Structure 1
Amino acid sequence: MGKKKNRKTNAKKGKAQGESAEAKNAPHSVIVYRGHVGRYLQILMRDIRKVMEPNTASNLKVRPKCSLQDYVSIAGSFHVTHLGIITRSELSPYLRLCRMPQGPTLTFRLLRYSLAKDITSLQRRQNTYDLQFKTHPLVILNNFGGSEEMHVKVMSSMFQNMFPSINVVKLKLVNIRRCVLFSYDEETGTIEFRHYSIKIAPTGVSKAIKKIVKSKIPDLSRLDDISEFLTKDTLSESEGEDEPGNQTILPQTLSSRGGKVGQQSAVRMVELGPRMTMKLVKVEEGVMDGEVLYHSIVKKTEEEKKLIRQRREQRKKLKEKRRKIQEANVRKKEQEKSVLDEKAMEGIKRKKEEWKAEKERNLEEEEEDNDEEWFKKEIGVAPDKDLFPSTGKKRKSDGGVGSIAAKRLKKFSEKKQDKPKLKKTAQDLEDLLKHKKNLKRLKTGNTKQKSFRPANIKRKNRK
C-alpha cells in the first residue's frame, strides 16, 4: 500500500519555502486585453505571454468587469512590475506597456504582426519544446544606443527592465535557450520585435559525421561500404550560414551533442514567433493617467501644456477635496452609529433590570399566597381565618404553565357537562347500520342500489 498524500502538509511546505529572493526580485508581468479586440489579437496576447515566461501570469483569465485599478491594486502583493494591455481602435491595434505602480506608460501602434503558429508552420523543422520556456530569454537591443532623444532612452529602459538582468559571472549557458530582439529604425521610428530559439551546433564536421555524433542511425541501404557515407561531399544543415562571425569556442559544457568545453561551435537561431512591427505613439508620466511627455502625432505649444497642467492640478485638488468630505461623512456616520449603539445598550440594561425587579416581586407574591397551603400541608389542619389575614387583592395570572393547565381543565369540564347523554334505542341502531352501509358503498364505488326479487319470480324465469 502506498502512502497517502497529505495535501495540507504539502501546501504548508510550499508556503514555508515560497519563492526565492532572486525570483521575487525578478520583474513579473501581466499581459491582458481590453474591449473587443477579436480572435487574432487574443492569440497574439497568449503568444506574448509565452515570450514573457516563466515570470508572467500565463493562465490569467481576462474578465470584462476587471478595471485598470484592480490590476494596479494587486500589483504589489504579486510582485507585478509591468502591465501590458492590447486594445483595438478603428485605425489599428495598440499595445500599452505600463511600469507599475507609478509609470511611465508607453503606447505603441501595431503596424504589422504575425502569430507564432504562422511562423512555425512555415519552417521545415520546428525547434520548440517545453524546456525552452522554463527560463527567461536573453534581451538584445539594436540601434537604441546611438540616439540621444528622451523617448528612445525611455523605450530602451522599458524593454530591458521587462526581463530579468543577467549576471555574467554566475551565468550558465544551459539556461540561455531563447532570445528576444528589439531593433530600432531611426529613419522610420519603427521597432521590429523578434523571438528566437538559440541552438548550438559543432562546426567543421560533415553532415554524415554529425548524424553519428547525434546518435542517429544513417540509411546505408544504397551504399556498399560505410566509407562512402563518410567521404561523401555534402554540406551539413545550415553549414553555409556558419560564417566566422557566428562561430565561438564554448566556455562551458552544454547538454547538446558535441557541446564540450573548448570546442568550436556555431550559434544558430530559429524563429519561434510572434513577429511584430510597432511604432511609439506617446509616453505618459503615470499609469495611463498623467502628463504626456512625448507624442509622435500631436504637438502642443508651451502655453497649451501649461493650461493642461493647470486643469490636471484642479482635477487633483477637486478629487482630494471630495475624498476628505467623504472621509468626514464616514467618520460622522460611525460616531452616530456608536451613540445609537450606546443608547440601545442602556435601554437593554434598563429593560433587564425591570424584568428582574418584576420577577422578584412575583416571587414575593407567590410566597404570600402559598402561606395557607404550606400551613395545611405541614400541620394537617386548615389555619384559622385570623392567622393569615387576606389583603383582598388577587394576584393576576403571569401566564405560566399552571394557569394554562387550569384553563384547559376548566374548559374540558365545561364540555363534559354540556355533552348530552345518548339513549341507544332500536331505531338508533338501525339508523347507524344504514349509515355504515352507505359509507361502504361510497368507498367501494358501488352507489347503485341492488333490486331484490322474490324466489318464486326467479323460478318462473328458469322455466
Structure 2
Amino acid sequence: MGKSKVMPGTVDTAEADKATPKSIIIYRGEVGNNVRALMHDWRAVFLPWSSRNLHGKNSSLKDFLAIASTFSVSHLQLFTAPSHGTSIRIMRFANGPTLYFRVLSFTLRHEIVATQRRPMSLNQAVWEVAPIVVLNNFTHPDARRRPEVPLLEATFRGMFPTVNIQLVKNSDIQRVCLFHYDHVEHLVEVRHYFINAKAVGVSKTVKKLLERRCPTKLGTLESIDDVLHREDVWSDTDGEGEEVPLAQPFRQHREQCRIKLHEIGPRLTLQLVKVTNGFAGGEVLFHRFESKTPTEVAENAVKVRVRRSEKAKRKAEQDENVRRKQNMKEERLRAKRLRREETMRQQAENPLEVVDSGYGADAE
C-alpha cells in the first residue's frame, strides 16, 4: 500500500517539542465571505503550526478546551462579526488571558496580489516553516507608558515558535510576520512578508537571466560577452533592500545578496478593546473605553470570585451525582448478576424443580 498523504497545515501531534505554540483559528456566528476569507488567510500566516482545513463550526469552546492539552494547542483565535464590525479574540489555553481586538480594517491576500506588478509564486516549502516574528515600536517611551503594551508584546511573541540562532538554517527562513505598534493612535498594524533574495552587483539583463526570465532585445546581441561587458554590469538594479553578508548559503546565493520583503498578505489594523485574565472571560484587566475606580475594581473582583466559587460548587455537585448514579448502576448490575448465579446454582441442584420462569429443565 502507498504511503498516506499528509494534508498541508496538519498539526503533527508526534512532534517532540510539545512547547511549540500551535493555534486553532475559527469563526463564530454569522460572518460574511470576506471574514471567512480573512480567517483562511490568517491561518496561512501561522502555518505549519495551525490547521488549514479545520471545521469547528459545530464545536463549542469547551470542546476545544478539552482537546487542547491532548494536541498541545496553545492558542485559540476566534473571529466574529457583530453589528459594530469585525472582531478577533486571542485566547491562551487553558487559563487565559483573553485579548479582545476590533479589526478596524483588513486587506485579503488576493487583493494585495492583484495590486502587485510582479506577484510572487510561492511553493509549498514556504509554508513548511513558521515565519519570523518582528515586533516594531513596542519599546517606544510613549508605548511603555501604556499598561497593555507589555501584554501585547508577550502575546504576539508567544504565538510563534522561538528561533534558535545556533540551529536555524538560512534556507529555512522564508517569511516574516510584522507587528507594528502605533504609539499615537494605539493601534497594531500587522503585515506578512515573503523574504526575497536578489543578486548583488549584476546588471538588469544578467539578473533576468539568473531569475530565468527573458531579457528584452536579447536577439540584438551577438554573444553573452555583450551582456557581461556592458557599462552597467556592476550597477545596482534595485533601489530598495539592504546588502547583507551571508555566514551560510541562502537559497542560491553563497556570499552576499540583497534582501527585499515582498508582501503576501493579509494586512490587518487591530485595536485592543479589552483584556480578561481567564479563558474567554474572567476579571477585566484592561478596557479601552471604560475606566473604573479602585472600589469598582475590587467589587468586580469579588463578583468574579463568587461566580467561580459557585461554578466550582455546581461542578462538584454534578460530579458527585454522576458518581452516585454510577455506583447505583453498578450495584444493580451486581445484584442482578448474583441473582442469576443463585438461580443457575439452584437449577443445577434440582433440575426438575419449578422456578418462576418455568421448569428448571426448560429454563435457559
TM-score range, shorter chain: 0.7 to 0.9
Among residues 74, 84, 88, which one is paired with 1:81 in the alignment?
74
One-letter amino acid of the counterpart of residue 190, structure 1? L
Superimposed CA distance per residue, residues 6-39 of structure 1 (whole angstroms, 9 cap, x where no aligned partner): 87xx99xxxxx973424x3311111100111111
Q: Describe how 1:164-175 pairs up with structure 2 within 5 A.
A: 164-175=161-172
Among residues 203, 222, 226, which one is paired with 1:206 in the alignment?
203
Asked whether 1:194 is paired with 2:187, we answer: no
Change in CA separation of 1:207 and 1:319 when aligned onto 2, cut-off 3 Å: same
Output the CA distance in 2 between the equivalents of 1:233 and 1:212: 15
Instruction: Provide the residue aligned with 1:116 in structure 2.
Output: 109
Superimposed CA distance per residue, residues 114-165 of structure 1 (whole angstroms, 9 cap, x where no aligned partner): 0000001111211131221111111111111123333100001111111111
Instruction: Provide the residue aligned with 1:279 in structure 2.
Output: 271
Superimposed CA distance per residue, residues 46-73 of structure 1 (whole angstroms, 9 cap, x where no aligned partner): 001111001111110132x311111111
Change in CA separation of 1:66 and 1:216 when aligned onto 2, cut-off 3 Å: closer
One-letter amino acid of the counterpart of residue 93, structure 1? T
Q: Which structure's residues are more often helix, by fraction?
A: 1
Gaps in structure 2 of 5+ consecutive residues: 7-11
RMSD of aligned residue pairs (Cα, Å)? 2.9
Instruction: Provide the residue aligned with 1:406 in structure 2.
Output: none
Among residues 29, 43, 46, which one is paired with 1:35 in the alignment?
29
Among residues 32, 48, 56, which one is paired with 1:54 in the alignment?
48
Q: Describe how 1:314-325 pairs up with structure 2 within 5 A.
A: 314-325=306-317
Superimposed CA distance per residue, residues 404-463 of structure 1 (whole angstroms, 9 cap, x where no aligned partner): xxxxxxxxxxxxxxxxxxxxxxxxxxxxxxxxxxxxxxxxxxxxxxxxxxxxxxxxxxxx
Task: Give SS of 2:265's match.
Answer: coil
Change in CA separation of 1:339 and 1:97 when aligned onto 2, cut-off 3 Å: closer
One-letter amino acid of the counterpart of residue 220, structure 1? L
Instruction: Provide the residue aligned with 1:98 in structure 2.
Output: 91
Q: Describe how 1:52-451 pairs up with structure 2 within 5 A.
A: 52-63=46-57, 65-129=58-122, 130-146=124-140, 147-148=143-144, 149-214=146-211, 218=215, 219-223=217-221, 229-230=227-228, 231=230, 239-242=238-241, 246-256=242-252, 259-261=253-255, 263=256, 265-359=257-351
Change in CA separation of 1:346 and 1:40 when aligned onto 2, cut-off 3 Å: same
One-letter amino acid of the counterpart of residue 206, structure 1? S
One-letter amino acid of the counterpart of residue 239, structure 2? G
One-letter amino acid of the counterpart of residue 333, structure 2? D
Contact preservation (8 Å) 1:220, 1:229: no
Output the CA distance in 1 between the equivalents of 2:63 and 2:337: 40
Aligned length: 347
Instruction: Quote the sequence identity (%).
Output: 33
Gaps in structure 1 of 5+ consecutive residues: 12-16, 363-397, 402-463
Task: Give SS of 1:19's match.
Answer: coil
Contact preservation (8 Å) 2:352, 2:360: no
Change in CA separation of 1:44 and 1:350 when aligned onto 2, cut-off 3 Å: same
Change in CA separation of 1:400 and 1:293 when aligned onto 2, cut-off 3 Å: closer
Note the C-alpha offset of 1:355. Answer: 3.1
Contact preservation (8 Å) 2:191, 2:268: yes
Change in CA separation of 1:237 and 1:281 when aligned onto 2, cut-off 3 Å: farther
Quick check: which has more Rg, 1 or 2?
1
One-letter amino acid of the counterpart of residue 43, structure 1? A
Note the C-alpha offset of 1:289. Answer: 1.3
Output the CA distance in 2 between the equivalents of 1:95 and 1:6: 38
Output the CA distance in 1 between the equivalents of 2:294 and 2:2: 68
Instruction: Provide the residue aligned with 2:9 in structure 1.
Output: none
Output the CA distance in 2 between the equivalents of 1:53 and 1:76: 19
